[in-house]
Each structure stands twice: as C-alpha cells, then as structure tokens.
Chains A and B, each alone.
Chain A
C-alpha cells in the first residue's frame, strides 16, 4: 500500500466553526507533513512530525493545531479560521532516515473554503 489518504476531499466552514482534517498512511513511514497550497502556488510547509513528535512548525498561526495520535495518522484541527486560509491542504509522509532520498508521498489533499 503506497497510498496516503485524506478526508474529507472538500470542506466548507464558517469562521466560527471547528473542524478537523485527517490523513492516514500504512507504509510504515515515521515522518508526516502538512502543507498548504494556494492556487497557482507551490506547497508551503506547515508542520512536520517525526516519530509522532512535532519536529517542525513553520510559524503557523495557533488556529491550526496538528496532532499525531499514532504513526499512521495525522490530524489538523481548525478553529476560528479566516477566509485567507482557504486553500488545498496536503498531507505527505516519508521514511525517517537522514542521508537518504527524502521522497515524500502525497495525499490528494483537502480543498478548504472558509466563508
């Protein structure tokens, strides 16, 4: 199984809502990532988890809260978002081995619209 799955595919939420994005992989990867991608732009790294611990937070606002309940799952909890947070949110995973090719496997993304 070389797939990263993400749910939901699409999400529309108001600025006062609380919602969560979910990501799952069963490749035994120990590094998992959240990226944000605006239209016609490259993905921007938000968070990296390594062995279920947060290792990189790219100064992301606290209205985005990541969680890694186990080595296969990654969540992104959303609260009090702004319309400018509307984007495609991509999850990825990779082997956790320094010095090796860091191929990241991407999920199809969640298209988020904040009204």
Chain B
C-alpha cells in the first residue's frame, strides 16, 4: 500500500520553531494525529485534528491541515531539548480502529 510520508530528519536549535511535515494517503481520513516516541518507549499522542478543520493550536503545538494536497504539518514553538524524539503523523482510515502511521521524523534539538 501507499506510505504516509515524512521527511526522515530535522535538526533545530533550542528556542527555534520546528516544522514537521507529513503527506497522507486517504482523503476520507476522519482524524489525523501526531504521536511522539522517545528512545526505548511507546508512542504518546501529542495532538490530533479533525478532517473538517484546517488549523488547531494547543499550547506550543500548531497543526495545519491542507485536505486538497493531503498535507499535514506540526509546528513546535520554542523547541526544547526535551522535544528531541521521533514524531509520527497518523491517519485514521479503513474504520475507526485502524490507524496508519507515517514513516517518522527524527527531531534533534541542539542546545
């Protein structure tokens, strides 16, 4: 099947903004998610956006959704060293129990 695509790696300086991009595949996806995975750990839901929205802000996190281009982005303001992790976008498709994860972006924050 088609992959949910993300760029592999992003490096930013502490205090700068980070933008992680994702191209998803299913135009009928109901919800789109951003998960964070720290080394040796499971995934943690950061935020989500419903498909009829084009923007959602949650403290330092801003999600933008372009349904026409099937493009999703996550902006982290004032990036901290504790934000270093792998970030996965995910689309809910094929039934509400089935979530397909993106290829993952490793965020490195330089002090």
Chain A: residues with CB nearer than 8 A to chain B? 4, 31, 33, 40-43, 45, 48, 50, 55-56, 90, 92, 94, 98-109
Contacts and interface: CB of A to CB of B under 8 A. Distances in A.
B59 interface: no
A102 B99 contact: yes
B44 A106 contact: yes
A108 B40 contact: yes
B43 A43 contact: yes
B49 to A, nearest CB: 10
A48 to B, nearest CB: 5
B45 interface: yes
B103 interface: yes
Contacts of B95: 56
B88 interface: yes
Interface residues of B, number: 24
Contacts of B41: 108-109
Interface in B19-52: 30-31, 33, 40-45, 48, 50
A45 B96 contact: no
Contacts of A33: 97
Interface of B: 4, 30-31, 33, 40-45, 48, 50, 88, 92, 95-104
A42 B103 contact: yes
Given A31-B97, A40-B104, A103 B48 contact: yes
Contacts of B31: 101-102
Interface centre among A42, A45, A56, A94, by most chain B C-beta atoms within 10 angstroms, is A42
Contact of B97 (A4, A48, A90, A101): A48
A50 to B, nearest CB: 7
B102 A42 contact: yes
A41 B95 CA distance: 23
